[in-house]
Structure 1
Amino acid sequence: MTTTAAPVLPAPALDRLPELTAALAGCAAAHDRDAELPLADFELLHGAGLLTATVAARHGGPEAGLGDTVRILRALGAGDPAVALITAMTLFTHAAEARAPHWPAGPLADLLAASARRPVLVNSLRVEPELGSPVRGGLPATTARRRGDGWELTGRKTYSTGAYVLDWLLVWAATDEPRPRVGSFLVRAGSPGVTVEPVWDHLGLRASRSDDVRLAAVPVPGDHVAGLAPAGPDGGRDHTAGAWNGLGLGALYLGVADAARDWLLGFLHERTPTALGAPLASLPRFQSAVGEIEVALTGAHRLVAALAAAVDAGEPGAAEQAGGAKLLATRAAIDAVQQAVALVGNHGLTRRHPLERHLRDVLCARVHTPQDDAVLLAAGRTALDRRR
């Protein structure tokens, strides 16, 4: 099979983003409580062309850029960040293939043909119990061994977002050759030897089901490998991929903060203490506090959107600045939700109010690559080297 037979995929319906945000928000509390996501959520996104928004034009896709992607993830994050995070992984995968073709023709043709008919979800499984995140260096313990014309995978991956709803697992593994190579081995969900272990028990993003995946002698065809190359010190990541990850996830968590702010605005208009005889929204103290939240979120959204546009335009240095923008965006998002909780007191920590869930979800922003310490270390070294 070749990619020339791929169907033409629809452009993402960006005008439907408010509608989709509302639809996801209506189910988010139940998904958080049950810690699971039905495929119906992704069918909505598939119908709007969002899951395939970043598929390359040469493969029949709209090839949306990072600017449109941050718009999508901001809107979905405001609705249900668990849905948004799984969607982000699929969008990032298609975008990476659009930038630099590396998928073998057969699996790519299968992926695109299925994506035209139904939601198809993909994620890269990279984190391991001993290794942690590969961006800090090291080889994966997950091993690919030659078996005839193919490979056999053995290992364990942790924090595998959306593991139980994925169609394709891009398993980062090292070969057992004398000089190991690393790459992504393309594994179909349900392949023999693949087991999803339901260990996810998290404070936030409970419905993302970032469970463990165990691989026990999983057979992989010889042509189902992408990017197999000698191991590099950065785990094979490039600046542009880092920009997509950082800015996309920054936008997602700003969406969570948007939802928290919107709930806060409604609460302040509705809450009328008997001693005051007027809504809390009428008090200057609350007006100033809301203003501080609004200014911080507006600035963060502008920063992410502007830098995403600069990355799309190929502006020199823009991709390298994305880590700092992610740090500022996620800090603004976390601070905004924490300020909202402080303003409303017990109401903000009560499970029947969505602000409690928004607080738990937005705190997850800190754990995504690049993490704050790595961003600040790189920025500091760059500044000091520049001065020298």
Structure 2
Amino acid sequence: MTDLAAITAQLAARAEEHDREATFPHEGVALVHQHGLLTETVAARYGGPGAGLGRTVEILTALGAGDPAVALVTAMTLFNHAGQALAPTWPAPYYQRVLAESAAAPTLINALRVEPELGSPARGGLPATVARRVADGWSLSGRKIFSTGGEALAWMLVWARTDEDEPRVGSFLVRGGSPGLRIERTWDHLGLRASRSDDVVLDDVRVPVDATIDLAVPVPDARGATLFAWNCLGLTAMYLGVANAARDWLVRFLHERVPTSLGRPLATLPRFEAAVGEIEARLASAAVLVRALAGGVDAGDPEAIRRAPVGKLIGTRAAIESVQDAVALVGNNALNRRNPLERHLRDVLCARIHTPQDDTILTAAGKAALSRFGKECNP
């Protein structure tokens, strides 16, 4: 069994360096690949381990505690393999190439959907990136923003529309380093700085005619509910890993900090015992919820699948609040860049930006509850 704790420690050793310099953690991704974690969710029918969401939550929690930038690019790759396991959409020859490449070297995959004008595609709208039919396939032109791991991606699933009279929308399989593709280093973010979520610009990038996924007339949201639950709970696990690392640093700090006026460690004071207990209870409860929902998703429980966004809301709030509480307990030292708590705070705040955002989750949950109550009152 993979020693996830050892991998966490190795990733953590260089996380501060990559954050400070905003450099992509290539060696961290290589470490994850070395231990087979990038392909854990490859289905058994393709010769893979066939890991479910429960195992993925365990992996991403550990990687998030070490280096969340590595965890995030790993998550995107795991989700893509999981999607293929749940409902195959990749053209068979292309997925076989991905598997062959993955056996030899780290093979990162990510779906590039967000654009400057469109914002989050989850809130509706058509992409401005256009695919034009040419003699040898498709020609793609456009710009994708927040393209996590862009410089290191082996495969990009570029969401685009065709220029046909009745446009179709889908994902086009673009190889990293393709002619006409360039990375603009626009990523200068508060947190997850090492993720290098730069702009990807496509200028007449050629794609074979059969290198497409789900190319069809637009529908509101073609993503499956189960894979959406993977995204919600997997990323929440990653941020709970960040919060776990912050808690661990706090505990060490309180044991090592011995004010001369006190003559004993801060960890011995009831005030700090209660405060750490609050953090511990919050994180433990969130972890239990995420694991339980992940188990339900793996079992095909429709209620767990439906509740996954709420699990994200509760889990990410627990992670953010716990790190903020740790900062408040430590004071000035917490915001000193010599200490990792400052980085954990910046990283965990990024939990709020992932789809679905809190307002969408709460609105959907509220509408569902009100609808149920309305049916009960007006049978």
Range into which the TM-score falls when normalised by the shorter chain: over 0.9
SS in 2 for 1:171: strand
Which residue does 1:247 correspond to in 2? 233
Which residue does 1:19 correspond to in 2? 6
Which residue does 1:333 correspond to in 2? 319
Residue 83 of structure 1 aligns with an amino acid whose one-letter code is V
Q: Partners in 1 of 2:167 and 2:303 — Cα distance?
A: 32
Task: Tell me the CA shift for residue 241 of structure 1.
Answer: 1.6
Which residue does 2:88 correspond to in 1? 101
Task: Tell me the CA shift for residue 21 of structure 1.
Answer: 0.3
Written as runs of structure 1 = structure 2, the 5 A alignment for 1:44-63 is 44-63=31-50
Task: Tell me the CA shift for residue 68 of structure 1.
Answer: 0.2
Q: Partners in 2 of 1:191 and 1:238 — Cα distance?
A: 29
Q: Partners in 1 of 2:325 and 2:26 — Cα distance?
A: 34
Q: Partners in 2 of 1:205 and 1:39 — Cα distance?
A: 15
Task: Tell me the CA shift for residue 148 of structure 1.
Answer: 1.6
Task: Tell me the CA shift for residue 51 of structure 1.
Answer: 0.2
Q: Partners in 1 of 2:261 and 2:93 — Cα distance?
A: 70
Task: Tell me the CA shift for residue 149 of structure 1.
Answer: 4.2
Q: Partners in 2 of 1:162 and 1:231 — Cα distance?
A: 27
Task: Tell me the CA shift for residue 226 of structure 1.
Answer: 1.1
Q: Partners in 1 of 2:368 and 2:167 — Cα distance?
A: 31
Q: Partners in 2 of 1:363 and 1:295 — Cα distance?
A: 20
Q: TM-score, normalised by structure 1?
A: 0.95
Residue 225 of structure 1 aligns with an amino acid whose one-letter code is T
Task: Tell me the CA shift for residue 316 of structure 1.
Answer: 2.1
Residue 296 of structure 1 aligns with an amino acid whose one-letter code is R
CA contact (8 A) 1:16 1:48 kept: no
Sort the Cα spacing of 1:258 and 1:38 in 2 relative to 1 into closer, same or farther, 3 A: closer
Residue 203 of structure 2 aligns with an amino acid whose one-letter code is A
Q: Partners in 2 of 1:281 and 1:318 — Cα distance?
A: 39
* Residue 208 of structure 2 corresponds to residue 221 of structure 1: yes
Q: Partners in 1 of 2:93 and 2:183 — Cα distance?
A: 25
SS in 2 for 1:317: helix
Which residue does 1:194 correspond to in 2? 181
Residue 255 of structure 1 aligns with an amino acid whose one-letter code is G
Residue 357 of structure 2 aligns with an amino acid whose one-letter code is Q
- Let me know the Cα RMSD of the aligned residues: 0.8
Residue 237 of structure 1 aligns with an amino acid whose one-letter code is R
State percent identity of aligned pairs: 65
Q: Partners in 2 of 1:182 and 1:329 — Cα distance?
A: 33
Q: TM-score, normalised by structure 2?
A: 0.98
Task: Tell me the CA shift for residue 163 of structure 1.
Answer: 0.2
1:196-233 CA distance string (max 9 Å, x none): 00000000000000000011111000111111122111
Written as runs of structure 1 = structure 2, the 5 A alignment for 1:57-136 is 57-136=44-123
* Residue 362 of structure 2 corresponds to residue 376 of structure 1: yes
* Residue 198 of structure 2 corresponds to residue 211 of structure 1: yes
SS in 2 for 1:314: coil
Which residue does 1:387 correspond to in 2? 373
Q: Partners in 2 of 1:203 and 1:42 — Cα distance?
A: 22
Sort the Cα spacing of 1:366 and 1:38 in 2 relative to 1 into closer, same or farther, 3 A: closer
SS in 2 for 1:258: helix
Q: Partners in 2 of 1:320 and 1:148 — Cα distance?
A: 44
Identify unmatched segments of 5+ residues in structure 2: 375-379
Which residue does 2:283 correspond to in 1? 297
Q: Partners in 1 of 2:323 and 2:102 — Cα distance?
A: 36
Which residue does 2:295 correspond to in 1? 309
Task: Tell me the CA shift for residue 38 of structure 1.
Answer: 3.8
